[in-house]
Homo-oligomer: A and B are copies of this chain.
Amino acid sequence: MRYPLITRYADYDSKGHANNAVYLTFFEVARHSLWRDTWQREADPPFIIGEARVKYASPARIGDLLVIDIRVAEIRTKAWVFRYEIRDASDERLIAEGETVQVMFDYVARSTRPIPEDVRQKLESIRV
């Protein structure tokens, strides 16, 4: 899935580049958009982040229009991997790529849990 990435002036640091930490927020925006579009349900999704990785390819400067591609890269028992690519919307220049590992979480029992079957089926269907 591809989403436009609406950046904010406050995202940019003193060099006029999107700050390195903001990329994890960009990934989060894509992840929540996908969750909302795919499951049409809660805005506060029932998983935690186990790991995150970003590789910075070229700077995002103020005014650059960005898009983000998100896809399912791997599905395990309790966890799955999203892969992201952030690109310049005008010329497809790669700005950053990365991954996050989501772990299904039961906020009542306060413990991880297996991916429910309906979530798994959806994840499979959007897996590349």
A14: contacting residue among B44, B50, B56, CB under 8 A: B44
Given A10-B21, A21-B21, A51-B54, CB of A16 within 8 Å of CB of B28: no
Q: List CB contacts (< 8 Å) of A9-23 with chain B.
A: 9-10, 12-16, 19-23
Residues of B within 8 A of A16 (CB): 14, 44
A24 at interface, CB cutoff 8 A: yes
A25: contacting residue among B8, B32, B55, CB under 8 A: B8
11 extra A-B contacts, CB within 8 A, seeds A14-B44, A52-B52: A6-B29, A8-B32, A9-B19, A12-B13, A14-B16, A15-B107, A20-B52, A21-B21, A21-B25, A48-B56, A51-B53
Name 25 interchain pairs, CB-CB below 8 A, sorted by A: A6-B6, A8-B25, A8-B32, A9-B13, A9-B28, A9-B44, A10-B22, A10-B28, A12-B13, A13-B14, A14-B15, A14-B16, A14-B44, A16-B44, A20-B24, A20-B49, A21-B23, A21-B25, A21-B28, A43-B62, A43-B63, A49-B56, A50-B55, A50-B56, A51-B56
